Amino acid sequence: MNILDQIVASTRERIARDKVSTFTPTSKTPLQPFAFEQALRDDDMRFICEVKRASPSKGMIARDFPYVQIAQEYEAAGAAAISVLTEPEYFKGSDTYLQEIRAAVRTPLLRKDFIIDAFQIEQAAMLGTDAVLLICAILHETQLREFIKQADNLGLSCLVEAHDENELRTGLRAGARVIGVNNRNLKTFNVDLHNSIRLRALAPPEVIFVAESGIATAQDVQLLRENHIHAALIGETLMRAADKKKALGELRES
C-alpha cells in the first residue's frame, strides 16, 4: 500500500469517528462566497501560503508551531490565500488550527485535507473555510462533479488537484474552475517543477491555474509567470523561513 492509499484509509477511519462524535456539521455560507478563487484572479502571480507542521516526505517541519501567528504573518505579507493542513496523522494538522486561524485573519482560507466524503465538505463550511482541496488521484469523476456542486451550493471554492494529463482532463470535465497541479508525486515524492508548466497548456485560459510544491526561489516563480500560471502554493519554503514576510517578498520580486 503506497502512502496515498494509507492516508486515504486513515481518513476513512477519521470520518467514521467524526460521524458518531458530538460534532454535527452545520453548513454556513462564507461572508464572501467564492472569495478564494476571486483572490487568485489577478494580473500578477498570486501566492497561497501554507500553514503546515509536517509532511510524509519531509517529516516534522515546524516543532515550534504558532499557527495563528504564522497565518497573521502571511496575511501581513500580502498572501492571496492561506492553506491550512487539517489531516492529523500524516501532516499533524487539526481542524482546531483552521478554526482559530479563521477567527484571526480575513484572508481566504483553503482547508487542505483528503476529501473523500461529502461530510467533510459540510465540515469545511462549518469550520469557516473558503475553499476545499479535491484530489483527482483519490476521487472518481462523478465524485468530483458531485463535490464541486455541493461546494458551489455552500459558496465554497474547490482547488482541484491533478498530477498528470489524465487527472487534469478529469478535473476539467468535472467542472473545475481552479486547477492545482502538484509537482510532487504523492506516490513517489519526486518533485518536478516543470510538471505544472507541461500541463498548463492543456487548461483553458479562463481556468485559474495553480502550481503546487517545489517552488523555492524567485527564479522558480518567474518561470511560472512566464508560462502563464496564475498562482503558486508554497509550504515548506515559507514554513522554514524565520522572517516569512521577507521570504514571500523575495519570492515575489523576481
Note the pLDDT of residue 185: 78
Is 87 assigned a catalytic role? Answer: no
**Residue 171 falls within a domain, yes or no?**
yes
How many angstroms separate the CA atoms of 113 and 190, rounded?
20
pLDDT at 2: 85
Percent pLDDT > 90 in the chain is 77
Distance, in Å, from the CA atom of 12 to the CA atom of 2, rounded to the nearest integer, reads: 16
Higher confidence at residue 28 or residue 102?
Answer: 102
pLDDT digits (tens, 9 = 90+) for 151-207: 999 999 999 999 999 999 999 999 999 999 999 877 777 889 999 999 999 999 999
* Of 73, 167, 212, 236, catalytic: 212
Which pLDDT belongs to residue 51? Answer: 97
Average pLDDT for the chain: 92
Is 182 tagged catalytic?
Answer: yes
Q: Which residues of 203-241 are buried (b: 16+ CB within 10 A; e: fewer)?
A: beeebbbbbbbbbbeeebbebbeeeebbbbbbbbbbbeb
Query: Which domain covers residue 108, as residue numbers?
Result: 3-19+34-252
Q: Which listed residue (55, 87, 213, 236) is catalytic?
A: 213
Whether residue 22 has pLDDT greater than 60:
no
Q: With a cut of 70, say whether residue 29 has pLDDT above it.
A: no
Is 213 an annotated catalytic residue? yes
User: Is 182 within a domain?
Assistant: yes
The pLDDT score that the predictor gives to residue 24 is 59
Q: List b or e across 82-118, with b for residues whose CB sees 16 or more CB atoms inside 10 angstroms.
A: bbbbbbbebbbbbbebbbbbbeebebbbbbbbbbbbe
User: Average pLDDT in the 68-91 region?
Assistant: 96
Q: Binning pLDDT at 50, 70 and 90, where does residue 26 land?
A: low
Q: How confident is the model at residue 28 (pLDDT cuts 50, 70, 90)?
A: low
**177 lies in a domain?**
yes
Q: What is the pLDDT of residue 148?
A: 98
Domain membership of residue 25 (yes or no) is no
Among the listed residues 52, 92, 236, 244, the single catalytic one is: 52
Predicted pLDDT at 137: 94
Would you state the pLDDT for residue 178?
Answer: 98
Across the range 61-78, mean pLDDT stands at 93
Residue 50 annotated as catalytic: yes
- The reported pLDDT for the residue numbered 20 is 86
Query: pLDDT category, 9, cuts 50, 70, 90?
Result: very high
Domain count of the chain? 1
Per-residue pLDDT, averaged over 203-219, amounts to 94
Per annotation, catalytic residue among 73, 161, 167, 236? 161
Report pLDDT for 198. Answer: 95
Residue 28 lies in a domain: no
CA-nearest of 187, 17, 145, 142 to 89 is 17
Band (pLDDT 50/70/90 cuts) for residue 63 is confident
Catalytic residue among 55, 73, 112, 195: 112
- For residue 25, is pLDDT > 60? no
What's the average model confidence in pLDDT over 138-149? 98
Q: The CATH number of the domain where 194 resides is what?
A: 3.20.20.70
Tell me, yes or no, whether 210 lies in a domain: yes
* Cα–Cα distance measured from residue 161 to residue 83, given in angstroms and rounded to the nearest whole number: 14
pLDDT value at 23 more than 90: no
Q: Name residue 197's amino acid.
A: I
Is 21 annotated in the active site?
no
In this prediction, residue 59 carries a pLDDT of 87
Q: How far apart are the first and last CA of the chain?
A: 41
Q: Is 29 part of a structural domain of the chain?
A: no
pTM above 0.85, yes or no: yes
Which one of the listed residues 83, 157, 182, 196 is annotated catalytic?
Answer: 182
Q: Residue 219 falls within a domain, yes or no?
A: yes
